[in-house]
Amino acid sequence: MVGETPKTYNQTRKQVMALIALFEQLEIRPGDKIALLGTNMPNWVVSFFATTFMSAIVVPLLPDFLPKEIENILEHSEAKAIVVSDSLWPKLSDIATDSLLYRIGMEDFSVEGPVGNKLTFDPEAIPVAEYRINEEDLAAIIYTSGTMGTPKGVMLTHRNISFTAVKSKLIQPINETDRFLSILPLSHTYENTIGFILPMLCGACIYYLGKTPTPALLLPALLEVRPTIMLSVPLIMEKIYRNKIRPAFQDKWIMRMLYRVPVVRKKLNRIAGKKLMETFGGEIKFFGIGGAKLDKTVEQFLIEARFPYAIGYGLTETAPLLAGANPQKTKLQSTGPAMEGVTLKINNPDPHTGEGEIWVKGPNVMVGYYKEPVMTKAVFSEDGWFKTGDLGTLNEQDYLYIKGRLKNIILGANGENIYPEEIESVINNFRFVVESLVVQKKGKLVAMVHFNQEEIALRYQHLKEDVSAYVENIIEELIEELQEYVNSRVNKYSHVQVIILQPVPFKKTPTQKIKRFLYT
């Protein structure tokens, strides 16, 4: 934990063995499921390894799952035990499933259950049995919240996870001098494989915050840890750019004019990039961004700022990485080439644009969805290709470019493909816009837009005493201005016909993608 004495690898291994010994006393056997519900901490890692090292199956649960979702997953997975952190224990208060026998505290490994009062965790204990694990054995069932509603249990083998971690080393070399600062939930496969298994394979050190990475918590931690590697989602960097960097270049008329000159803009971005590096502790060499597409304007800034960002592409179903590049090899709006050992193809590409659904094969592709043979069959072709559901293109250097989700495409009046993500990217670069969602309603393109009303109020508070009423008028004017701004920057069949105010932030997945199904 940040601010605490780090554990050594030997100390961690000793804890893992002791926890396996406790699991044995609870009569947990290979193939049994153990759920993990916790905030990021070293004991989450210990719990994960203890489960998988004894050939039991780990079921990581996202901390923001609702109690009913947790109950459904525990019942569906038939979890025999759950390891839960103190702060999330209340979510289990009304949960009862037939299979769940034990509730174990993540902080001290205390046990509640049929024999819970008789058993205590012994840090000196060692396992009785020896466990032989086949690489094709099931290691984890990861339930995705997804953007389309019902969670699905993705079955990943030891080979799926280990292959991804080992091959990721070829994209970015890592050694025992590297320091990771973990800010994404360990229960998500992106952070789990790339931010936990990978650094452990390489002898690196991982620091955990233990709480939601708010600026007040994160900024001091960055200066203390001075991480060399971090993993993030686009929204984090987009917020930094839109809330901190862009306003500095837009506040004054002369600065706005200068910033429009490419040569001047690049110099200003370079200065901002140095400050950004200092904010992150000054030693970042790999800032990974994945989970969703990074806004083009923000990425252009990172390039001109010479900030060492890197883009990756993958899915929970592929454990997760499929394509990626390190900071020396990034290309604007590309996720990079396929990871070694993974085959990507564009299925049935459009003869004019080269666009088509991305299909993949590789040792990291899941076994299937737990207890869902029909759903599993639907995502595999007859000859074994996994259908990602994403549209993309490959260039001459085999760099992959993502266009959007196949299910999100809007069909225009004349049969044109309209990519809402591209329109949203333009909208989100308009002043005071925090986020947006483009949908089709009654044949019209409608943009739902969430403005930063607090920022607007601060900007104009010197003009009016009754700021709240004035903000409403400003937003009405901004909506008119925004429609003109967007439609002058997108092709004619992507013109937005209606803009409506989204008063509160959109609900999001753990990787900060908007849950589109809630709004369409």
CATH of the domain at 114: 3.40.50.980
Is residue 52 domain-shared with residue 74, that is, in the same domain?
A: yes
Decide if 209 is inside a domain. yes
Is residue 28 domain-shared with residue 84, that is, in the same domain?
A: yes
Over residues 203-215, mean pLDDT: 92
Is residue 393 domain-shared with residue 434, that is, in the same domain?
A: no
- Enter the DSSP assignment of 86: G
Distance CA 386, CA 362 (A): 9
Of residues 475 and 50, the one with the higher pLDDT is 50
- Predicted pLDDT at 214: 86
Is residue 499 domain-shared with residue 414, that is, in the same domain?
A: yes
Decide if 247 is inside a domain. yes
Residues ≥6 apart with Cβ < 8 Å to 374: none
Contact yes or no for 362/343 (Cβ under 8 A): yes
- % of residues, the chain, pLDDT over 70: 96
Is residue 438 domain-shared with residue 392, that is, in the same domain?
A: no
Question: Position of tokens 């290979």?
Answer: 30
Is residue 236 domain-shared with residue 354, that is, in the same domain?
A: yes
Is residue 435 domain-shared with residue 397, that is, in the same domain?
A: no
CATH of the domain at 463: 3.30.300.30
Residues ≥6 apart with Cβ < 8 Å to 353: 393
Confidence band for 467, pLDDT divided at 50, 70 and 90: low
Distance CA 8, CA 108 (A): 18
- % of residues, the chain, pLDDT over 90: 78
What letters, b where the CB count within 10 A reaches 16 and e where it falls short, cover 221-260? bbeebebbbbbbbbbbbbebbbeebbeebeeeeeeeeebe
Residues ≥6 apart with Cβ < 8 Å to 24: 54, 127, 128, 129
Has residue 416 got a pLDDT over 90? Answer: no
Has residue 470 got a pLDDT over 80? Answer: no
Highest mean pLDDT of the ranges 3-17, 103-117, 503-517: 3-17
Decide if 370 is inside a domain. no
- Predicted pLDDT at 150: 63
Has residue 78 got a pLDDT over 60? Answer: yes
C-alpha torsion 419→421→423→429, nearest 10: -160
Over residues 83-105, mean pLDDT: 94
Is residue 401 domain-shared with residue 427, that is, in the same domain?
A: no
Contact yes or no for 316/161 (Cβ under 8 A): no
Decide if 74 is inside a domain. yes
Over residues 116-131, mean pLDDT: 90
Decide if 401 is inside a domain. yes
Is residue 253 domain-shared with residue 328, that is, in the same domain?
A: yes
Structural domain for 327, as ranges:
200-360+382-405
Per the structure, the count of domains in the chain is 3
- Out of 133, 157, 172, pick the residue that ends a domain: 133
Quick one: which of 283, 255, 252, 278 has its CA closest to 268? Answer: 255
What is the average pLDDT score of the chain?
Answer: 92
Tell me the per-residue pLDDT of 326-381, one tens digit each, with 9 for 90 and over. Answer: 999 999 999 999 999 999 999 999 999 999 999 999 999 999 999 999 999 999 99
**Alpha helices (H) in 169-312, listed in sequence order:** 189-192, 198-201, 215-225, 234-240, 246-250, 253-259, 262-279, 296-305
Confidence band for 147, pLDDT divided at 50, 70 and 90: very low
- Enter the DSSP assignment of 195: I
Of residues 150 and 7, the one with the higher pLDDT is 7
Tokens of 270: 């370079």
Which SS3 state, helix, strand or coil, does residue 267 take? helix
Decide if 167 is inside a domain. no
Which of 15-19, 314-318, 471-475, 488-492 bottoms out in mean pLDDT, i.e. has the lowest?
A: 471-475
- Out of 90, 108, 133, pick the residue that ends a domain: 133
Residues ≥6 apart with Cβ < 8 Å to 169: 198, 201, 202
CATH of the domain at 250: 3.40.50.12780
Over residues 248-272, mean pLDDT: 91
Decide if 318 is inside a domain. yes
Instruction: Please give the span between the terminal C-alpha atoms of the chain, in angstroms, as a whole number.
Output: 41
- Enter the DSSP assignment of 514: B
- Predicted pLDDT at 517: 86
- Predicted pLDDT at 463: 59
Which of 229-243, 439-453, 468-482 bottoms out in mean pLDDT, i.e. has the lowest?
A: 468-482
Confidence band for 497, pLDDT divided at 50, 70 and 90: very high
Over residues 118-144, mean pLDDT: 95
Has residue 148 got a pLDDT over 50? Answer: no
Query: How many whole angstroms from its chain centre is CA 428?
Result: 19
- Out of 115, 133, 151, pick the residue that ends a domain: 133
Decide if 217 is inside a domain. yes
Of residues 52 and 150, the one with the higher pLDDT is 52
Over residues 313-334, mean pLDDT: 97
- Predicted pLDDT at 278: 97
Distance CA 6, CA 364 (A): 31
Confidence band for 145, pLDDT divided at 50, 70 and 90: low
Confidence band for 128, pLDDT divided at 50, 70 and 90: very high
Is residue 476 domain-shared with residue 425, that is, in the same domain?
A: yes
Of residues 318 and 404, the one with the higher pLDDT is 318
Distance CA 16, CA 22 (A): 10
Is residue 33 domain-shared with residue 114, that is, in the same domain?
A: yes
Give the helix, strand, coil percentages of the chain, each rounded to 5: 35, 20, 40
Is residue 400 domain-shared with residue 413, that is, in the same domain?
A: no
Has residue 146 got a pLDDT over 50? Answer: no
